[in-house]
Chain A
Amino acid sequence: MERKMIMLKVSDLQVYYGYIQALFGINLEVPKGNIIVLLGANGAGKSTTLRAISGLLKPRKGTIEFQGQSIGGLPPHKIVELGIAMAPEGRELFPNLTVRDNLEAGQYTRTYKIEKKEDWERVIQWFPILGERMTQLAGTLSGGEQQMLAISRAFLTHPILLLLDEPSLGLSPLLVKSIFQSISKMNRETGLTILLAEQNVRMALSTAHYGYVLELGRRTLEGENKVLLENNEVLSSYLGFS
């Protein structure tokens, strides 16, 4: 892997839910322009890690450095301001507002008209179905459409780093393929750095450059996508399927 600037560096991250410890010292690096994936079964700590980076959770110990700046403990809106956006597990859309309103909400912090227009057009290009459903209430969209909307809304905040939490969850294989193709496109066309959490090993590793495997709140394995894919037998024992 060529030497690139490290955009996000997580060191010894420990996160608790009340008295229960969820992360036991996570270390990872996200180089600029890459797609990095966090793999692991349910409850392994993938979502927790992403939520800590996005500010929804506060770390108990450890540091999260974004472009050299320590962001652990900052409130979520500040982190969005700094350039990190997330499409979370559960999507967290605005169900009673239209697709257009949801997308515009993503641009709440944006002021430059030209930039906003360009981002908007990009999103419609990647997910044309959203363009068709502009006036529909977000709560009535199908699962796949909601996922696309969540990703688009996050993209519209004009981030430098995009966090995607289980984009394939609950979607048909065809849709999953389509979403991952879009993720690839996003990365290729704009150079957007992406950190995603996934259970779908095959899809994720065919899209990402590098992967970390999490198990019960700890990192157990890491490597370039090809290496991990070859390690499939080890992986399947971790992730529980063939």
Chain B
Amino acid sequence: MLIQLLVSGLALGSVYALVALALVLIYKGARLLNLAQGELVTIAAYFSLAILQQIKLPYLVAMIPAILLAGVFALIVERIVIRPLIGSEEWPILLATWGVSITIRGIIGLLWGHEPRPLPSPFTSQHLRLGAYFISGQELVIIIASLLMLLVFYLFFRRTKTGLAMQLIADNHTGALLCGISVNRINGITWIISGMVAAVAGITIGPIFFLHVEVGFGLLLSAFSAAVLGGFGSIIGAILGGYLLGVIQTVTGGYMPTAIKNSVPFAILILVLVIRPRGLFGKALVEKK
């Protein structure tokens, strides 16, 4: 039983890790919290649903256009909503992303309705046998796909010029400008990556957790909690925090009622903020303006 819980926990944790990564990337690049991050996950899942149903591609193949679409969609959001607000105070940008979140939810509701929909995948009915235990095929897909995505991201971040630019911008915005880096362009790319990372999360977990209009916000809260747990602002923290939170939530959920299980991310968020605000791997939080 515990093995199965652990695997499920890692699967959930993979999703959290990806979404937390997407969240922290945008934060590091542009100093803003993307409240629409959850919706970027759900819309990607709905994209793949549409592709699966309309074009009838197999699940794994349909992933690719869906991920690309999600990246483009994220870029569109950045151009239309975020660009005009560069240089504003904190609250207009926060509210704007919240507005984006609500707008996407409304559009999803209009296009697909409020009924929870499953994302059809051939892996949900397959299992891997490990001794006496059966491990869900879809969960393995989640874990493997996320690890792949994280690897790709790592290579990009560490080994490409654009990745370097992202690191520089995150460390000192003005300094990056003075080195000839076009911050606007790079931030656009950051959003695209964010969208694609979120897409992988959404498409892989869709078959298990069903697609529903309201899922996004809970996911945002969980991803944020994961990032805080790992140390908000740290990429490694976000990823590790994600896996950790996923495991904690699933393992406790195995022994407690569902209502409590759903509150675990929030509870952990409060706990971390009260006891150790810098999280496990982050630096001390400075009350900066």
Contact = CB atoms under 8 A, between A and B. Distances in A.
Contact of A77 (B171, B172, B175, B182): B182
A191 B209 CA distance: 66
Interface string A92-105: 11111100000001
Interface in B164-211: 164-165, 167-168, 171-172, 174-184
B109 to A, nearest CB: 40
A109 B177 CA distance: 11
Contact of A80 (B172, B180, B184): B180
A88 B174 contact: yes
What are the 5 tightest A-B residue pairs by CB atom distance, in nearest-first order? Answer: A80-B180, A109-B180, A92-B175, A76-B177, A94-B171
A109 B180 CA distance: 6
B159 interface: no
Contacts of A224: none
B180 A95 contact: no
A56 interface: yes
B288 interface: no
Interface of A is mostly: loop
13 contacts: A56-B177, A75-B184, A77-B180, A77-B183, A80-B178, A80-B180, A92-B174, A92-B178, A96-B171, A97-B167, A105-B168, A105-B179, A108-B179
B289 interface: no
Given A105-B168, A108-B164, A108-B168, A93 B175 contact: yes
A108 B165 contact: yes
Given A92-B172, A105-B176, 19 more contacts: A54-B178, A55-B177, A75-B182, A77-B177, A77-B183, A80-B178, A86-B178, A88-B174, A88-B178, A93-B175, A94-B172, A96-B171, A105-B175, A106-B179, A108-B164, A108-B179, A109-B180, A154-B178, A157-B180
B171 A157 contact: no
A15 interface: no
B161 interface: yes
A86 B177 CA distance: 10
A54 B175 CA distance: 12
A37 interface: no
A85 interface: yes
Interface in A72-91: 75-77, 80-81, 85-86, 88
A108 B181 contact: yes
Interface string B149-161: 0000000000001
Contacts of B183: 77
A153 B168 CA distance: 13
Given A108-B161, A108-B164, A108-B165, A80 B179 contact: yes
Contacts of A157: 179-180
A116 B164 CA distance: 18
Contacts of A77: 177, 180-183
Most chain B beta carbons < 10 A, residue from A88, A94, A97: A94
Contact of B175 (A75, A81, A94): A94
A96 to B, nearest CB: 5
A95 B174 contact: no
Contacts of A97: 167-168, 171
B87 to A, nearest CB: 11
A141 B171 CA distance: 16
Nearest to B182: A77
Contact of A93 (B164, B172, B182): B172
B116 to A, nearest CB: 44
A219 B172 CA distance: 32
Contacts of A75: 182, 184
Nearest to B178: A86
B24 to A, nearest CB: 15
B174 A56 contact: yes
B177 A94 contact: no
A76 B180 CA distance: 7
Most chain B beta carbons < 10 A, residue from A96, A105, A157: A105
Nearest to A102: B175
Contacts of B181: 77, 108
Nearest to B167: A97
A94 B168 contact: yes
Nearest to B174: A92
Contacts of A85: 178
Contacts of A92: 172, 174-175, 178
B187 to A, nearest CB: 12
Contacts of B172: 92-95
Interface in B214-234: none
B177 to A, nearest CB: 4
